[in-house]
Amino acid sequence: VAWAFVHADLEESDAARMLHHGVVQRARNQGWIGLKQEVGAQHIDSVEAECFEIVLSLVPGATRNQYHMMGFELDIVVSCPIGTLIDLEIDELYHRSARQRGIDSRRDRFLEELGVTVVRFD
């Protein structure tokens, strides 16, 4: 449901806010706030891969292309000792379109309400 909500261009309304809040509450109640074990495709010839190597040299233990329990793929993840997750998003050109910016904004809001700090690099 979260993925569909993020990709739908719903206008801001009380109903949309209530749906968003309901999905976040359900995720919290079910404990869907961490990472899944599976990882996404590991393309070695991308800007994301180059950025990951830099981050990994500075932050041992960072991971790449992890999936959040809500189904969202996180580009580069740093797991902090206190349990906080930091998602470093390496945005390519298509993230500059108005539609993709809306999707990214709604996605980030979901993740942040579930305790993930999202940092985007354009």
Q: Decide which of 60 and 5 is more confident.
A: 60
Res 44 pLDDT > 80: no
Using left for φ > 0, alpha for ψ between -120 and 50, and beta otherwise, residue 51 falls in alpha
Judge residue 52's burial from the number of C-beta atoms within 10 Å of its C-beta, 0-12 exposed, 13-18 middle, 19 or more buried. buried
Give the span between the Cα atoms of 54 and 48, in whole angstroms: 10
Any bridge partners for residue 120, and if so which? Answer: 89
- 46-71 residue pLDDT tens: 888 899 999 999 998 899 998 898 88
pLDDT value, residue 77? 94
pLDDT value, residue 103? 87
pLDDT value, residue 111? 93
Q: What pTM did the predictor assign?
A: 0.83
Percent of the chain topping pLDDT 70? 99
Judge residue 120's burial from the number of C-beta atoms within 10 Å of its C-beta, 0-12 exposed, 13-18 middle, 19 or more buried. middle
Tell me the two tokens of residue 95: 């993230």
Widest Cα–Cα separation across the chain = 45
pLDDT value, residue 85? 93
pLDDT value, residue 59? 92
- 23-36 residue pLDDT tens: 999 999 999 888 88
